[in-house]
Structures are given as structure tokens and as C-alpha cells.
Amino acid sequence: MNEHLRIERLRWWHLPEVAEMELAIFGPEAWSEGLLWTELSAGNDYRAVLDRGAADAPIAGYAGTALSDTEAWINNIAVAAAYRRRGVARMLMDDALARARAAGAKAVYLEVAVDNVPAQRLYDAYGFYGIGVRKNYYQHTGTDAAVMRMDL
């Protein structure tokens, strides 16, 4: 893995770059910069993997987690195309799960498009399992979402 990649708290000044990544990765289902701002201002825990070895420290990936008393939801996780297959998603998952455990969560939940096989493989490797399907969850494409859970 690249020694220049560092996990840091996502800040408001990262949001334009994250919104561009959202659009490139998720197309019409992308979260807007405004929605991402709302997530940050609501106190949800967002982290970014920054490439500190590059001149402008681009964001390699990011993940957002909502923590409550006994559960956590991974709201988003995405990796820029140039950084895929370099361990960035695992860095983000390891970090999110460690923070969920530290906060006392007993379970972690997420939703993933049923046609996003690479993401589902990652979640399966961490011990997530399917608990349901939300039909037509992704509004613009009509894609279903698999709801997954991992017990901590």
C-alpha cells in the first residue's frame, strides 16, 4: 500500500472534490455538495484518505458513518478510480469499524446497490450479511439496495 495515504477527518473544504467524485462514481445517484454539507453539519463522522505524497493531496476515497448508541450506519464509501485496488476501501472500512466499536456500537449497517458486486465482495469479506432488500431504492435508476448488517 502507498505510504503517502493518510486517513483524516473530512472537512468542509473537501466537499467540492468529494461531490465531483460522487458524480464520477455514482452518476445520477450522486450526493450533492449540499447534501454532503448537511451530513457534516449533522455531526456524522466522515473520513477521507488523502494522498499526502501528491502536490495537491487529492482525496483517494472517503467514507461517512452515522453513530448512535448501539448501532452505526455506513452512509457512503467511495474510492476514486485512480486509487482502486490499492487498499483504500479497506483502510476506510477498518477505520469506520474501529470507530463504531469505540463508540459502543453492537452492529453496523449499510445499503449497497444490488448490482455493485465489487462492493458486496468487500462487505462479505468483513462479515456483513444480507438482511433485506429495498426495492427501487436508488430513485434515478430504479436499482434495488441490499441492506447488510455486521455484528460487532
The predicted pLDDT at position 55 comes to 75
The predicted pLDDT at position 69 comes to 85
Task: Give the DSSP H or E segment for 117.
Answer: helix 117-125
The predicted pLDDT at position 3 comes to 82
The pTM (predicted TM-score) of the whole model is 0.90
pLDDT along the chain (152 residues), means of 10: 86 94 92 94 94 84 93 95 93 96 96 94 96 93 94 96
Closest CA to 45 of 105, 124, 128: 105
Q: Name residue, grid cell 495537491.
A: 56
* DSSP letter for each residue of 20-33: HHHHHHHGGGPPPH
The predicted pLDDT at position 129 comes to 97
How far apart are alpha carbons 7 and 50 in whole angstroms?
6
Q: What are phi and psi of 56, to 5 degrees?
A: -100, 10
CB-based burial, 3-33: b 16+ in 10 Å, e otherwise: eebebeebeeebbebbbebbeeebeeebbeb
Domains annotated on the chain, with CATH? 5-151 (3.40.630.30)
Phi-psi sector, 141: left (phi>0), alpha (psi -120 to 50), beta: alpha
